[in-house]
Amino acid sequence: MINVLLADDHDLVRMGMRRLLESVDGLCVAAEATTGEEAVTVCREQDIHVVLMDINMPGMGGLEATRKILQRNDSTKIIVVTMSDDGIVAQRILKLGAAGYVTKGCKIKEIVHAIHEVVANRRYITPEVAQQLALAGTNSQSQQSSFHELSERELQVMMMILDGKKTNEISDSLCLSPKTISTYRTRLYTKLDIQSDVELTRLAINHGIILTND
Protein backbone atom coordinates (compact mmCIF):
# COMPACT_ATOMS: atom_id res chain seq x y z
CA MET A 1 0.00 0.00 0.00
CA ILE A 2 1.33 3.45 -0.97
CA ASN A 3 0.66 6.04 1.73
CA VAL A 4 -0.02 9.47 0.22
CA LEU A 5 -0.05 12.89 1.91
CA LEU A 6 -2.17 15.60 0.29
CA ALA A 7 -0.59 19.00 0.99
CA ASP A 8 -2.78 21.83 -0.31
CA ASP A 9 -4.51 24.73 1.44
CA HIS A 10 -7.66 24.47 -0.70
CA ASP A 11 -10.28 22.20 0.86
CA LEU A 12 -12.01 21.42 -2.42
CA VAL A 13 -8.75 20.38 -4.08
CA ARG A 14 -7.90 18.01 -1.24
CA MET A 15 -11.44 16.60 -1.10
CA GLY A 16 -11.47 15.95 -4.83
CA MET A 17 -8.01 14.37 -4.79
CA ARG A 18 -8.88 12.16 -1.82
CA ARG A 19 -12.08 10.92 -3.44
CA LEU A 20 -10.32 10.07 -6.69
CA LEU A 21 -7.18 8.53 -5.20
CA GLU A 22 -9.01 6.39 -2.68
CA SER A 23 -10.82 4.70 -5.57
CA VAL A 24 -7.48 3.40 -6.85
CA ASP A 25 -6.28 0.02 -5.59
CA GLY A 26 -2.98 0.18 -3.76
CA LEU A 27 -3.23 3.85 -2.80
CA CYS A 28 -4.13 5.22 0.63
CA VAL A 29 -4.56 8.90 1.47
CA ALA A 30 -2.92 8.64 4.89
CA ALA A 31 -3.09 12.34 5.83
CA GLU A 32 -3.75 15.88 4.69
CA ALA A 33 -1.90 19.16 5.32
CA THR A 34 -2.90 22.77 4.69
CA THR A 35 0.49 24.41 5.36
CA GLY A 36 4.13 23.62 4.75
CA GLU A 37 4.66 23.18 8.49
CA GLU A 38 1.86 20.62 8.71
CA ALA A 39 3.34 18.67 5.78
CA VAL A 40 6.73 18.53 7.50
CA THR A 41 5.16 17.40 10.78
CA VAL A 42 3.08 14.66 9.13
CA CYS A 43 6.13 13.28 7.31
CA ARG A 44 8.04 13.25 10.58
CA GLU A 45 5.29 11.44 12.49
CA GLN A 46 3.90 9.08 9.86
CA ASP A 47 5.21 6.66 7.26
CA ILE A 48 4.47 8.69 4.13
CA HIS A 49 5.66 7.32 0.80
CA VAL A 50 4.49 10.10 -1.54
CA VAL A 51 3.59 13.75 -0.92
CA LEU A 52 1.42 15.60 -3.43
CA MET A 53 2.70 19.10 -2.68
CA ASP A 54 1.23 22.46 -3.62
CA ILE A 55 3.84 25.24 -3.82
CA ASN A 56 1.77 28.21 -2.69
CA MET A 57 0.58 27.30 0.79
CA PRO A 58 0.49 29.43 3.95
CA GLY A 59 3.48 29.35 6.27
CA MET A 60 6.78 28.16 4.86
CA GLY A 61 5.10 27.02 1.64
CA GLY A 62 5.83 24.05 -0.59
CA LEU A 63 9.38 24.95 -1.55
CA GLU A 64 10.73 25.09 2.00
CA ALA A 65 8.58 22.15 3.08
CA THR A 66 10.07 20.06 0.28
CA ARG A 67 13.58 20.95 1.41
CA LYS A 68 12.89 20.10 5.06
CA ILE A 69 11.13 16.82 4.31
CA LEU A 70 13.91 15.60 2.05
CA GLN A 71 16.62 16.71 4.47
CA ARG A 72 15.13 14.40 7.06
CA ASN A 73 14.24 11.49 4.78
CA ASP A 74 15.23 11.51 1.14
CA SER A 75 13.30 8.30 0.52
CA THR A 76 10.02 10.24 0.70
CA LYS A 77 8.90 11.03 -2.83
CA ILE A 78 7.51 14.50 -3.44
CA ILE A 79 5.39 15.32 -6.47
CA VAL A 80 4.64 19.00 -6.96
CA VAL A 81 1.05 19.63 -8.05
CA THR A 82 0.63 23.23 -9.19
CA MET A 83 -1.20 25.50 -11.63
CA SER A 84 2.06 26.65 -13.24
CA ASP A 85 3.77 24.83 -16.09
CA ASP A 86 6.78 27.15 -15.88
CA GLY A 87 10.17 25.61 -16.56
CA ILE A 88 12.00 27.93 -14.17
CA VAL A 89 9.89 27.02 -11.16
CA ALA A 90 10.06 23.35 -12.17
CA GLN A 91 13.84 23.47 -12.41
CA ARG A 92 14.10 24.98 -8.93
CA ILE A 93 11.79 22.48 -7.25
CA LEU A 94 13.36 19.51 -9.05
CA LYS A 95 16.80 20.75 -8.02
CA LEU A 96 15.60 20.61 -4.40
CA GLY A 97 14.99 16.90 -4.91
CA ALA A 98 11.32 16.64 -5.87
CA ALA A 99 10.65 13.41 -7.76
CA GLY A 100 7.80 14.69 -9.91
CA TYR A 101 6.02 17.76 -11.23
CA VAL A 102 2.46 17.79 -12.57
CA THR A 103 -0.11 20.52 -13.18
CA LYS A 104 -3.53 20.70 -11.56
CA GLY A 105 -5.11 20.50 -14.99
CA CYS A 106 -3.92 16.95 -15.56
CA LYS A 107 -6.19 13.91 -15.31
CA ILE A 108 -6.21 11.65 -12.26
CA LYS A 109 -4.76 8.83 -14.39
CA GLU A 110 -1.62 10.93 -14.89
CA ILE A 111 -1.27 11.64 -11.17
CA VAL A 112 -1.64 7.93 -10.38
CA HIS A 113 0.95 7.15 -13.05
CA ALA A 114 3.28 9.76 -11.56
CA ILE A 115 2.89 8.22 -8.10
CA HIS A 116 3.82 4.77 -9.36
CA GLU A 117 6.75 6.17 -11.34
CA VAL A 118 8.33 7.97 -8.38
CA VAL A 119 7.77 5.01 -6.05
CA ALA A 120 9.74 2.98 -8.59
CA ASN A 121 12.55 5.57 -8.24
CA ARG A 122 11.86 7.15 -11.60
CA ARG A 123 11.24 10.87 -12.05
CA TYR A 124 7.98 11.98 -13.62
CA ILE A 125 7.42 15.38 -15.25
CA THR A 126 4.15 16.20 -16.97
CA PRO A 127 4.67 16.70 -20.74
CA GLU A 128 3.78 20.41 -20.68
CA VAL A 129 6.39 21.07 -18.01
CA ALA A 130 8.96 18.87 -19.75
CA GLN A 131 8.47 21.01 -22.84
CA GLN A 132 9.06 24.19 -20.83
CA LEU A 133 12.22 22.68 -19.36
CA ALA A 134 13.44 21.87 -22.86
CA LEU A 135 12.64 25.40 -24.05
CA ALA A 136 14.21 27.11 -21.03
CA GLY A 137 17.55 27.32 -22.76
CA THR A 138 16.05 29.17 -25.72
CA ASN A 139 14.75 32.07 -23.61
CA SER A 140 16.60 35.34 -23.21
CA GLN A 141 19.75 34.31 -21.35
CA SER A 142 19.96 37.49 -19.27
CA GLN A 143 16.39 37.22 -17.99
CA GLN A 144 16.58 33.44 -17.57
CA SER A 145 19.73 33.71 -15.45
CA SER A 146 18.12 36.47 -13.39
CA PHE A 147 15.27 34.17 -12.38
CA HIS A 148 17.76 31.48 -11.47
CA GLU A 149 19.62 33.92 -9.24
CA LEU A 150 16.62 34.26 -6.93
CA SER A 151 16.98 32.54 -3.58
CA GLU A 152 14.33 30.03 -2.46
CA ARG A 153 12.76 32.65 -0.18
CA GLU A 154 12.83 35.31 -2.91
CA LEU A 155 11.17 32.87 -5.29
CA GLN A 156 8.57 32.07 -2.64
CA VAL A 157 7.82 35.77 -2.06
CA MET A 158 7.66 36.32 -5.82
CA MET A 159 5.10 33.55 -6.29
CA MET A 160 2.96 35.00 -3.49
CA ILE A 161 3.14 38.48 -5.03
CA LEU A 162 2.06 37.01 -8.36
CA ASP A 163 -0.79 35.33 -6.51
CA GLY A 164 -2.03 38.80 -5.55
CA LYS A 165 -1.06 38.70 -1.88
CA LYS A 166 -0.19 41.97 -0.12
CA THR A 167 2.90 42.55 2.03
CA ASN A 168 1.02 41.99 5.30
CA GLU A 169 -0.57 38.79 4.01
CA ILE A 170 2.83 37.46 2.91
CA SER A 171 4.45 38.38 6.23
CA ASP A 172 1.66 36.65 8.16
CA SER A 173 1.92 33.51 6.02
CA LEU A 174 5.71 33.29 6.28
CA CYS A 175 5.89 34.46 9.92
CA LEU A 176 8.22 37.28 8.92
CA SER A 177 7.98 41.02 9.51
CA PRO A 178 6.53 43.26 6.78
CA LYS A 179 9.91 45.01 6.67
CA THR A 180 11.64 41.70 5.88
CA ILE A 181 9.14 40.97 3.11
CA SER A 182 9.76 44.45 1.66
CA THR A 183 13.49 43.67 1.69
CA TYR A 184 12.92 40.43 -0.22
CA ARG A 185 10.73 42.30 -2.71
CA THR A 186 13.48 44.90 -3.25
CA ARG A 187 16.08 42.18 -3.77
CA LEU A 188 14.07 40.34 -6.38
CA TYR A 189 13.27 43.63 -8.15
CA THR A 190 17.01 44.34 -8.31
CA LYS A 191 17.90 40.87 -9.56
CA LEU A 192 15.19 40.96 -12.23
CA ASP A 193 15.91 44.60 -13.17
CA ILE A 194 12.32 45.71 -12.60
CA GLN A 195 10.68 48.40 -10.46
CA SER A 196 7.09 47.33 -9.76
CA ASP A 197 4.69 44.44 -9.29
CA VAL A 198 3.20 45.29 -12.68
CA GLU A 199 6.58 44.75 -14.35
CA LEU A 200 7.03 41.56 -12.34
CA THR A 201 3.67 40.27 -13.57
CA ARG A 202 4.49 41.17 -17.17
CA LEU A 203 7.87 39.43 -16.95
CA ALA A 204 6.29 36.37 -15.33
CA ILE A 205 3.70 36.14 -18.12
CA ASN A 206 6.39 36.50 -20.80
CA HIS A 207 8.32 33.58 -19.29
CA GLY A 208 5.28 31.42 -18.62
CA ILE A 209 5.65 31.58 -14.83
CA ILE A 210 1.99 32.52 -14.63
CA LEU A 211 -0.61 31.62 -17.19
CA THR A 212 -3.20 33.85 -18.85
CA ASN A 213 -6.54 32.94 -20.36
CA ASP A 214 -5.45 34.11 -23.81
Q: How confident is the model at residue 134 (pLDDT cuts 50, 70, 90)?
A: low
| Of 13-27, 78-92, 126-140, 167-181, highest mean pLDDT | 13-27
In-domain check, residue 174: yes
Q: How confident is the model at residue 140 (pLDDT cuts 50, 70, 90)?
A: very low
The type of residue at 111 is: I
Mean pLDDT confidence for 26-31 = 96
Domain termination site, one of 93, 109, 134: 134
Does residue 77 sit in helix, strand or coil?
strand
Number of structural domains the chain divides into:
2
Contacts 24+ apart (CB under 8 A), 185-190: 185/157, 185/161, 187/151, 187/154, 188/150, 188/154, 188/157, 188/158
Summary mean pLDDT of the chain:
85
Q: Tell me the per-residue pLDDT of 34-60, one tens digit each, with 9 for 90 and over.
A: 999 999 999 999 999 999 999 878 777
The predicted structure's pLDDT at residue 212:
52
Q: Tell me the per-residue pLDDT of 71-115, one tens digit each, with 9 for 90 and over.
A: 999 899 999 998 766 666 777 788 889 999 998 888 889 999 999
Q: CB-based burial of residue 182 (10 Å sphere; 0-12 exposed, 13-18 middle, 19+ buried)?
A: middle
Query: Could you tell me the pTM of the whole model?
Result: 0.72
Which domain does 149 fall in, by range? 139-206
In-domain check, residue 212: no
The predicted structure's pLDDT at residue 173:
75
189 and 106, same structural domain?
no
109 and 14, same structural domain?
yes
Q: How confident is the model at residue 161 (pLDDT cuts 50, 70, 90)?
A: confident
